[in-house]
Amino acid sequence: MGTLIAGRTVQGLGGGGIVVLVNITVSDIVTMRERGKYLAAVGATWALASAIGPILGGAFATSATWRWCFIINIPIGLIAVAIISYFLRLHSPKIGVMEGLQQVDWLGSFLAVIGTTLFLVGLDFGGVTEPWTSALVLSCLIIGAALLVALIFVEWKISKNPIMPPRIFGNRTNAASYMVCFLHAQVFIASAFYIPLYFQAVLGKTALLSGVLTLPFVIMLSLGSVATGITIAKTGRYRPIMRIGLVFMVAGVGSFVDWDRNSSYVKIVFFQFIAGLGMGPMFQSPLIAIHSTINPRDIGVATGAFSFIRNLAGAVGVSLGTVIFSNEFIKKIPSLVPVLTPETVQLISGNGATSSTGVVRKLPASQRIPIEDAFASSLSTTWWYFFGISVAALISSLFVGKHTLSTQLQSSQPAKARKKAGDKHKTANGEATPEVSKEVEKEVV
C-alpha cells in the first residue's frame, strides 16, 4: 500500500498540473466568446475518458490483472508527450530555474497540501474506523482546519505571489461561481463513485458490467458539455445554461434516492440521463463566468484556484459520502446478524462494506438479498446528502452576475513581452503585415 500511495502521489503531481495547464492554455489563446467551445471539448474528453476508464478497468480486473489499470497509462502518456512536443507552440517569457523557484508560493502550497490532507483523513476515519471523539480524528480535523485558515491569512497578507490571491474572490459573481464549482464537483465525483457501487453492491453486477451501465450517465455528460460550449459561443450567455443545468442535476440526483434492488433498467437509464445532462454544463460555465470578470493577468491563478477547489471538493464529496454510507450501513448490521455467518458479518463491517461486493455476490440468496437491501437503503441516505448539495449549488448560481463575453483576444502578458513577440514578425521596412498582426495577437498570449 505504501508503494501504491507513493506512486499515486507522483502521478497526482503531474496529473494535477495537466488539468490546470490545459484550461489555462485554452483560456490564454482563445477569445472569451469562443472559449466555451474549446473548454467544452476538454469537458467532453473528460466525460469520454470517464466512460472508457471504468469499462477498461472492469475488463482488466475481471479478465487480466488490476495492474493493467496503471500500465495502460504508460503508452497513453508517451503518446501525449509526443503530440504536445510536436504541436504545441506557445511564446512565453523565459526565466531561470532559481528565479522561478523563488516565485513559487511555497508556504501557501505547504499549508494547502498538509491542511487539506489532514482534514480529509479526519473525515475519512471519523465514525468508520475511529470514533468521532478519538484523538486521531479530532487532531486531524482541528489541525487541518487551522492550517487552512492559516492559508487564507498567508495568501491575504504574506505571500508575494499567492497561489490563490484574495482578489479573484473579490466580487459576487466569482464567489458564487467558485461555490458552484465546489458543490458541483462533490456531486459529480460522488456520482462517478457511487453509481458503479450501486450496480455492483445492490444489483450484483461485475466490475465490467458496472462500467457499461454507467454509459448513459457519461454520454449525457459529454453531450451536455459540448452543447453548452457551442451555445455560449453563439449567444454569449452562460447564466441560463448554468441554472438550467443545475435544475436537471437536482432532479437527477434526487431521483437516485429511489433506486433499490428491484429498480428497472428503464428507470436506471432515464435517471442517469437526467443527472448527466445537468452535470455536463457545469464543467465550463462557472469558469467562463469567472473569466468574464477578472483581469487577464489573473487567468492563470483564477483557473488554478478553480481546479484546486474542484479537486478538493471531489475528495470532500467522496469522504463525506463514505462517512454517511458507512455509518448508515453499520447501523443495519445488527438486523443482518441473524441471517449471516460470523465471517460474513466481519467481512462487511467497517470499511469492508464497499470493497466486499464481489464476495457478497457469491453468497446464497438468503444472505445476499438482505445485504443488497442494506446497501440500497444506505446509498439512498447518501444520495439525500448530495441532493441537498445540488440544491445549494442551484441557489448559489442565482448570485452569478451577467457580464459581457469579449470577442477580442486579451493578452495576459506585460507590454514588454508583447513587444518582443511582435518584433519577430516585422517586415523589412519595420512594419507588420495585417496577416502577421493577427498571428502575433494569438502568439503573444
Asked, for residue 184, whether it belongs to a domain, the answer is yes
Does residue 251 sit in the same domain as residue 313?
A: yes
Q: Which pLDDT does position 353 carry in this prediction? A: 61
Q: Which pLDDT does position 438 carry in this prediction? A: 44
Q: Which pLDDT does position 404 carry in this prediction? A: 66
Does residue 211 sit in the same domain as residue 351?
A: yes
CA distance 439 to 422: 9
Q: Which residue among 116, 133, 160 closes a domain?
A: 160
Asked, for residue 334, whether it belongs to a domain, the answer is yes
CA distance 433 to 427: 7
Predicted TM-score of the model (pTM): 0.79
432: β partners: 426
Q: Which pLDDT does position 274 carry in this prediction? A: 94
Asked, for residue 58, whether it belongs to a domain, the answer is yes
CA neighbor of 109 nearest in space, from 150, 137, 166, 169: 150
126: β partners: 130
Range of the domain at 432: 415-444
Q: Which pLDDT does position 354 carry in this prediction? A: 62
Residues in the chain with pLDDT < 50? 414-445
Q: Which pLDDT does position 440 carry in this prediction? A: 37
For residue 212, what are the contacts with CB-CB under 8 A and spacing of at least 6? 55, 58
H or E, element range at 415: helix 415-423
Q: Which pLDDT does position 365 carry in this prediction? A: 78
Q: How many domains does the chain have?
A: 3
Q: Which pLDDT does position 385 carry in this prediction? A: 94
Q: Which pLDDT does position 249 carry in this prediction? A: 94
Asked, for residue 25, whether it belongs to a domain, the answer is no
